[in-house]
Amino acid sequence: MKKLFFGAAIAVSMAMAGTAQAAGELNIFNWGNYTNPELIKKFEKEHDVKVTVTDYDSNDTALAKVKAGGHGFDMVVPSASYVPIWVKEGLLLETRPDQMENFKHVAEEWKNPDWDPGRRYSVPWQWGSVGIVVDTSVYKGDINTSAIVFDPPQELVGKINVAPEMGDVMGMALFYVGGKPCTDDKAMLKKARDVLVAAKSKWLSMDYGVIEKFAGRDLAASLYWNGAAFRAREKNTDVRYGYPKEGYVLWMDSVAVLKDAKNVENAKLFQNFVMTPENAALISAFARYANGIKGSEEFMPDDMKNAPEVNIPSEFASSGHFIPTCAPEVQALYTKIWTELQK
């Protein structure tokens, strides 16, 4: 009993000491199932900071939550086409990642992106594509086409999911009908709208969390993100990822600090922390996306180095496109179509 009491006393003393010496907190608002717990533990240990991660399910959800105020978050991870919106709304702090010690590790192609010129606000988190995930035990035809979800073959009808992310879905639909994302061409938008509305009756769901559903063979196809396709294949070896020949969306999510953050210095520490190759590799090892940090490859799991979901095959490389930030009037047209699709 004495041993137990003595041990407990030491534990309490250490806990109290830890509390007294703690460098503070950090509250991160990030996409669900997207943050490696090992990365967080490593940061907490190195910087003596307690980290809390809160999930969101879409760019619009995150933006609305932060704009409403009273959120308590320090950091957010918006997609490329949304970063300019966050900046214009005055929601991000100009932390100048380009002047941080570890910025030297950012790959050249990600140092000066259109959505954050000079990287004055954000640092790379992960990047990837929107494509077609298919269980090839159900469908054995061509999977490199958006027709899988927009004009599905009979064997897939009623077994299809579509990610409920407006920008990605609208972009893919516009590519499919021969248009381009952010167009204000009413005729082209009507084509995309008609395709989406007609296809919806053949879908099972518009949902997140597809990995376990492919594992249980509850889904046979989905318009979704490449890293999730990789993780689904790990659980169901019949899963394959297709790159639509009509065109597909590329994206990058980046870590930024909120203007009203309470823990600014810890947030800056985190931005610098995720730009080291070892830490960027931890991010990728969990969610299975590329990360934008040079030198991270040597720390990546071996099964990612040649994975077709991560490394875009050369024959499909020219079909991938980043979506620009749409003008407000175009965004309003998107929202009108999207609202109709949700009915």
**In tens digits, what is the pLDDT along the chain, a chain of 343 residues?**
333 333 333 333 333 333 333 469 999 999 999 999 999 999 999 999 999 999 999 999 999 999 999 999 999 999 999 999 999 999 999 999 999 999 999 999 999 999 999 999 999 999 999 999 999 999 999 999 999 999 999 999 999 999 999 999 999 999 999 999 999 999 999 999 999 999 999 999 999 989 999 999 999 999 999 999 999 999 999 999 999 999 999 999 999 999 999 999 999 999 999 999 999 999 999 999 999 999 999 999 999 989 999 999 999 999 999 999 999 999 999 999 999 999 8
The rounded distance, in Å, linking the Cα atoms of 123 and 183 is 28
Q: How high is the pLDDT of residue 226?
A: 98
236: left (phi over 0), alpha (psi -120 to 50) or beta: beta
300: which DSSP letter? S
Q: How high is the pLDDT of residue 23?
A: 67
The token pair at 295 is: 């030198």
DSSP annotation string for 76-139: E--BGGGHHHHHHTT-B----GGGSGGGGGB-GGGSS-TTSTTSSSEEEEEEEEEEEEEETTT-
Considering the chain, tell me which residue range(s) the CATH 3.40.190.10 domain(s) occupy.
2-127+251-304, 128-250+314-342
Q: What is the CATH number of domain 2-127+251-304?
A: 3.40.190.10
The rounded distance, in Å, linking the Cα atoms of 200 and 59 is 22
What is 128-250+314-342's CATH topology?
Answer: D-Maltodextrin-Binding Protein; domain 2 (3.40.190)
Residue the block writes with tokens 């082209």: 188
Type of residue at 47: H
178: left (phi over 0), alpha (psi -120 to 50) or beta: left
241 forms beta bridges with: 133
Cα–Cα nearest to 294, from 168, 163, 109: 109
Task: Confirm whether pTM is higher than 0.85.
Answer: yes
Q: How high is the pLDDT of residue 16?
A: 37
Q: How high is the pLDDT of residue 186?
A: 94
Q: What angle do CA 314, 239, 136 make, to 5 degrees?
A: 95
Cα–Cα nearest to 58, from 212, 166, 133: 166
